[in-house]
Chain A
Amino acid sequence: MSYGIIGITVLWTFLFGYLIVASVDFGAGFFSYYSKITGHNNKVHTIIQRYLSPVWEVTNVFLIFFVVGLIGFFPDSAYYYGTALLVPGSLVTVLLALRGAYYAYNTYGSSKEDNITYMAIYGATGLLIPAALSTILAISEGGIIREENGKVVLDWARFLTNPYTWSVIILALVSVLYISAMFLAFYAHKAGDEGAFSVLRTYALSWSGPTILACLFAFFQINRQNPAHFSNMLDMAWMFIASLICFLLAVYFIWKKKNLGWSFLLVILQFGFAWYGYGRSHLPYILYDQISTADSITNDVMAGALIAAFLAGLLVLIPSLILMMRLFLFDAKYVSGSPLKKG
């Protein structure tokens, strides 16, 4: 296997980690705000805070890891994506900054329980960021970043009038809400909070339909956008079928209110199959057809060092994450315990 393939596999996996963790976080911000302004149910909010508080910082690192790794393994991507994405990239940065800072202000700094302004910022950015980030997937299909007279430019008109762009944005929005609701329903059930569970279950079920529709829509838009990629996808159709089966089972379980742990695991598998199927069929291109995995770093020593660093990093990272999950996610006393205490 070439270093390019190893590199992109590692990075794709981290991006998948970000997709799951960040979706829970992004969606939770929205639900938290939504349940507050509808005066719907304060219990939902407590559950959400209990989960989010210890993990908000970790989510950010997944994204940075991906960006840094991408440049590390494929320095050319810095040139094309970096130049073309200055404006959208800066906007995402600003949104991420506001979101991170105001989350911390609300959780640790605000004397009131929920500052409605902070929550509004948190909820709104929770939808805007995934929408913005997902457009990079549309750009990676090619034809939008062009090199003219030695300058890299982003073709805005082509970008905005492209139905595929909008299909990924819609897909990102609904799946963020779906993943988040599925997770929080599981978490609420674990905490024995039946009130929160029934609200969150409704959210999860009502977002499941739009999610699968958006998936299908995006799937067929790829055909229009990039037929070569689409035919690659058909070659590994089993992955997308497996994804659909996982989806059906996950929704069935939550409908029946049983096996909720499995239900969320199936959600992960559903997106996992689709994610890796999409990614695998995208290869060998990182950006159609300007950057391919063959253009990865030219020297083996650095590639070897990066992979070694990555493995060493995982040796520390995985036990730490497990420790964190045991302390907060799967600790019955913490999940259902007395009111959340901060330092």
Chain B
Amino acid sequence: MLSMDPVTLSRILTGLTLFVHIIFASIGVGIPLMIALAEWRGIRTKDPHYTLLARRWARGFVISVAVGVVTGTAIGLQLSLLWPTFMRVAGHAIALPLFMETFAFFIEAIFLGMYLYTWDRFKKPMLHLLLLIPVAIGSSASAFFITSLNAFMNSPQGFTLRNGVFTDVQPLAAMFNPATPTKVSHVLASSYTLSAGLLAGIAAYSMLRGRKEVYFKKALNLTVMASFIFAASTAIIGDFSGKFLAHYQPEKLAAAEWHFETMTQAPLIFGGVRDENGNVHYALKIPYALSILAGNSPNTKVIGLEEFPEDERPPLLIHYMFDLKVTIGVVLLAIPFLFLLRRRFRGKSKGYPRWLLLGVMALGPLAMAAIELGWMFAEIGRQPWIVRGYMKVSEAATTSNSVGYMLILFVLLYIVLCASCIAVLVKLFRGKDVNDEMKQLGIPEGGRS
């Protein structure tokens, strides 16, 4: 492994860091919103159960934030350590969003510290909740800035390339490039889905273990409802992203769909296997669907992969990532939908069936898988470019011979971090039972139902 060239090793190491970071980053973006939602309901309805819910979530949240912060620090430094030539050239154009991301992070960090230590310090509970608003804004804003940077790498604009340097830079045009709206909203919505799904899974797990307290039912209802709304918006935005690709990055869409010839009324290929001659077997072929995906009409012309020189085509492997992530997206929408349906037409039976609770438990891990797949699809689908149309990945990496050793170092670090994070979280929730805590805080077991 160590004999690979620095470019490949740098790609693997960057990919690994981001693979770990995006999970914690997504949680960091979504959970504050869920905590705020619970605390707000607690204040509005004067129901102490929701307030306790917010408290318990916040406690676990800090642990995950810690890992998010340190892996974020890692990727922040690795950008310059592994891609010095890229940063030297593109630094002229992307400095602004990077800079502003740090400020957003500052705000989040400052107010999160305050929020955690002021639960009982204000006479008005609303004041405490207000502290969470900058946390949520800060985390979403940093997602916005960093995603706009990534969007720039996919559809660069706002500069001219002269003598290998980006000049005449218009920072705002670079930030608000065509990819920014769909990318940012997709990232935010999927982060919210992941967070709501994870919290729903915790509630479902407790109920599966036979906990009957009304506290868990409230938690389940709130989180599954939120999951449904967020998953639905993620899906809708995903559709816009498809249309964006067809227009601005047709080679990515074409590679994802194994679409070679430019044509109207293009069919969509789902799954399948390609042989050496390029024939696709065992695939589900949906007529007109790709044209509809690309432009809402079966007569939309979809550009095929043949229009691009072979050394500028993304790997065809992304087809599977794309299909899998879309499939998971559908499941993520279906489970909460069934849950809500079941709640509405409950009939005589009390409680939820086991299969439904198991399904809810799967929401978090599924959303996690979808985020990883979607991100890999977006990044690998941009190959061979680091800045599409301007700079190839192979020209951007470090020339150092030590990347292999650093890769091993970071693999070990991430294993230690993730394992210890999970262990600490599990211990945290096992250590403090809800009932004990309710007694401690003087909340009647039934609460208000």
User: Contact: B171 with A301, CB < 8 Å?
Assistant: yes
Tell whether, in the assembled complex, residue B66 and residue A104 are in contact, meaning their CB atoms are under 8 Å apart: yes
- Identify the closest chain A residue to B86 (Cβ): A78
Query: CA separation between A299 and B91, bound complex, in Å?
Result: 11
* Chain A 73-101: CB-based contact to B (< 8 A → 1; otherwise 0): 10110111111011101111110111011
Q: Do A90 and B169 touch across chains, with their CB atoms under 8 A apart?
A: no
Residues of B within 8 A of A94 (CB): 409-410, 413
Contact B70 A96 (CB under 8 A): yes
Q: Is B398 an interface residue (CB 8 A)?
A: yes
Which residues of A are found within 8 Å of B425, using beta-carbon distances?
A: 109
Contact B87 A328 (CB under 8 A): no
Which residues on A sit within 8 Å (CB–CB) of B81?
Answer: 82, 85-86, 89-90
Q: Are A309 and B103 in contact (CB under 8 A)?
A: yes
Is B112 touching A93 in the complex (CB atoms < 8 A)?
no
How far is it, in angstroms, between the C-alpha of A343 and the C-alpha of B84 when the chains are bound? 42
A68: chain B residues within 8 A (beta carbon):
76, 95, 98-99, 101-102
- Say yes or no: A73-B95 contact (C-beta < 8 A), given A78-B88, A104-B66, A323-B114: yes
Residue A302 at the chain B interface, CB threshold 8 Å = yes
Say yes or no: A83 contacts B69, CB within 8 Å. no
A298 touches B (CB below 8 Å): yes
Is A128's CB within 8 Å of the partner chain B? no
The complex places the Cα of A98 from the Cα of B118 at a distance, in Å, of 27
CA distance A309 to B167 in the complex (A): 20
Residue in B66, B72, B76, B119 whose Cβ sees the most chain A Cβ within 10 Å: B66
A71 touches B69 (CB 8 A): no
The answer to whether the Cβ of B284 comes within 8 Å of any Cβ in the partner chain is no
Known pairs A68-B76, A105-B63, A297-B92; A83 contacts B398 (CB<8 A): yes
Q: Chain B residues with Cβ under 8 A from A262's Cβ?
A: none
Q: Which chain B residues (63-110) contact chain A, with CB distance < 8 Å?
A: 63, 65-67, 69-74, 76-85, 87-89, 91-93, 95-96, 98-103, 105-107, 109-110
B230 to chain A, nearest CB (A): 25
Is A101 a contact of B70 with CB atoms below 8 Å? Answer: yes
A312 CB → nearest B CB, Å: 8
Q: In the complex, are the beta carbons of A86 and B402 less than 8 A apart?
A: yes
Considering only CB atoms, which chain B residue lies closest to A96 in the complex?
Answer: B73
Q: Is A341 an interface residue (CB 8 A)?
A: yes
List the B side residues contacting A53 at CB < 8 Å.
113, 117
A54 contact set on B, CB distance < 8 A: 113-114, 116-117
A87 to B405, CA, bound (A): 9
Q: Mark A32-60, 1 if CB is under 8 A from B, else 0.
A: 00000000000000000000011111101
Interchain nearest-CB distance for B10 vs A (Å)? 10
Say which one of B233-241, B295-303, B324-332, B416-424 lies at the interface with A. B416-424
0/1 interface trace, chain A 313-342, chain B, CB 8 Å (1 if under): 100110011011001100000100000111
Contact of A71 with B95 in the complex, beta carbons under 8 Å: yes
Contacts of B88 in A (CB 8 A): 75-76, 78-79, 82
Q: Is B120 an interface residue (CB 8 A)?
A: yes
B84 to A83, Cβ gap below 8 A? Answer: yes
Q: Per-residue CB proximity of B257-281 to A under 8 Å, as 1/0? A: 0000000000000000000000000
The answer for the CA separation of A64 and B431 in the assembled complex, in Å, is: 35
Given A83-B399, A108-B62, A111-B431, do A327 and B114 touch, yes or no (CB 8 Å)? Answer: yes
Chain B contributes a number of interface residues (CB within 8 A of A) equal to: 80
Shortest B433–chain A CB gap in Å is 13
The reply to whether A83 and B98 contact each other, CB–CB distance below 8 Å, is: no
Which residue on B lies nearest to A310, using beta carbons? B99
B87 close to A82 (CB less than 8 A): yes
A317 to B114, CA, bound (A): 14
Across the interface, which residues of B come within 8 angstroms of A61, CB to CB?
A: 102, 105-106, 109
Instruction: Give A329 Cβ to nearest chain B Cβ, in Å.
Output: 12
Instruction: Check: A69 CB closer than 8 A to any chain B CB.
Output: yes
Tell me whether A341 and B120 are in contact in the complex, defined as CB-CB below 8 angstroms, given that A71-B80, A320-B111 are known contacts.
yes
Beyond A87-B402, A101-B70, whether A64 also contacts B103 by CB under 8 A is: no
Q: Distance (Å) between the CB of A213 and the closest chain B CB? A: 33
CB–CB B171/A343 < 8 A = no
Q: CA–CA, A283 to B210, complex, Å?
A: 68
Minimum CB–CB distance for A330 against chain B, Å:
14
Chain A residues with CB under 8 Å of B168's CB are 299, 301
Does B203 make an interface contact (CB < 8 A)? no
Minimum CB–CB distance from A331 to chain B (whole Å) comes to: 9
| B93 CB contact (under 8 Å) in A78, A82, A110, A302 | A302
Query: Which of B55, B100, B421 lies in contact with A313, CB distance below 8 A?
Result: B100
Whether A342 pairs with B109 at a CB distance below 8 angstroms is no
At the interface, yes or no: B415 with Cβ under 8 Å from chain A?
no
Q: Contact between A343 and B59 (Cβ–Cβ < 8 Å)?
A: yes
Q: Shortest Cβ distance from B125 into chain A, in angstroms?
A: 14
Knowing A71-B98, A298-B167, A317-B103 are in contact, say whether A98-B73 is a contact too (CB < 8 A): no
Please determine whether B406 and A103 come into contact, CB atoms closer than 8 angstroms: no
* B-side contacts of A100, CB under 8 Å: 66, 69-70, 73
Min CB distance B19 to A, Å, is 15
Give the residues in chain A near B112, CB-CB below 8 Å. Answer: 57
- Residue in A78, A110, A111, A301 whose beta carbon sits within 8 Å of that of B80 in the complex: A78
Which residues does chain B contribute within 8 Å of A83, judged by CB atoms? 84, 398-400
Q: A67 an interface residue at 8 Å Cβ cutoff? A: yes
Residues of A within 8 A of B338 (CB): none
Within the complex, the shortest CB–CB distance from A183 to chain B, in Å, comes to: 18
Report the bound CA distance from A87 to B77 in whole Å.
12
B410's partner among A90, A109, A151, A309 (CB-CB below 8 A) is A90
Please give, as numbers and ranges, the residues of chain A lying within 8 Å of B83 by CB-CB distance: 82
Which of B59, B74, B102 has the most C-beta atoms of chain A within 10 angstroms of its own C-beta? Answer: B102
B165 within 8 A of A: yes
Would A306 and B95 be within 8 Å (CB), given that A78-B87, A301-B171 are in contact? yes
Tell whether B58 is near chain A: CB-to-CB under 8 Å: yes
A227-266 residues at the B interface, CB under 8 angstroms = none
Instruction: Please indicate the chain A residues that have their CB under 8 angstroms from the CB of B119 in the complex.
Output: 341, 343
CA distance A91 to B405 in the complex (A): 11
Q: Are B92 and A299 in contact (CB under 8 A)?
A: yes
B362: interface (CB < 8 Å): no
Q: Which of A282-310 contact B (CB under 8 A)?
A: 297-299, 301-302, 305-306, 309-310
Residue in contact with A89 in the complex, picked from B77, B91, B118, B416, CB distance below 8 Å:
B77
CB distance from A128 to the nearest CB of B (A): 15
User: A65 an interface residue at 8 Å Cβ cutoff?
Assistant: yes
**Cβ-defined contact, A302 with B76, below 8 A:** no
Residues of chain B contacted by A299 (CB below 8 angstroms): 92, 167-169
Residue of B nearest to A59 (CB): B109
Nearest residue, chain B, Cβ from A84: B400
What are 22 A-B contacts with C-beta separation under 8 Å? A53-B113, A54-B117, A57-B112, A68-B98, A69-B99, A72-B96, A75-B92, A82-B87, A86-B406, A87-B406, A89-B81, A93-B73, A97-B70, A97-B74, A100-B66, A111-B431, A299-B168, A301-B170, A302-B95, A317-B107, A342-B59, A342-B116
Known: A61-B106, A301-B171. 10 other contacts (CB 8 A): A58-B113, A64-B102, A72-B99, A79-B87, A83-B84, A98-B413, A302-B169, A317-B107, A327-B121, A341-B120
